[in-house]
Amino acid sequence: MKNKTLSTWLAFLGGPLGLHRFYLHGMSDIIGWLLPLPTALGLYGVARVQQFGLDDPWSWLLIPMLGFNVAGCAINAIVFGLMPAEKWNARFNPAGQEQAGQTRWLTVGAVIAALLIGSIALMSSLAFSFQRYFEYQVEEARKISQ
């Protein structure tokens, strides 16, 4: 029996580590094992910014990996939370386990939190990466023009 509310919270809070994939598909899920990779690379990008400053050219490539991963897992949480109970039970639960797919207030809370944090992570990642990219392009254009 796979609980929809627990799956939604796992996708939101533990999604970048693949916890929701392990809960729903078991420990042999390949995607669940691959999800921590962009999370670790993004955290490495944050560490590079702390070490080398904002002018580090690798940071504008690495940090958005973390943000996009968080945003993707938040979208997954929203999809789980808004999935109708019949579809949830048909996909994840055997017959006779209808209670596990019901939407409760905690499920709605997870959807709201995932929408808030996911949109912040996505917009921040886009803004950071585009700002850094265009600043880098301006620097390179100045070098060429001199």
What is the model's pTM?
Answer: 0.86
30 versus 146: the higher-pLDDT residue is 30
The number of distinct structural domains making up the chain is 1
DSSP 34-102: HTHHHHHHHHHHHHHHHHH-TT-TTHHHHHHHHHHHHHHHHHHHHHHHHS-HHHHHHHHS-TT-GGGG-
Task: Give the model confidence (pLDDT) of 57-107 as tens digits.
Answer: 788 889 999 999 999 999 999 999 999 988 998 888 877 666 767 778 999
Can you give the residue range of the structural domain that contains 129? 4-145
Task: Give the model confidence (pLDDT) of 41-50 as tens digits.
Answer: 999 999 999 9
Q: What's the chain's average pLDDT?
A: 91
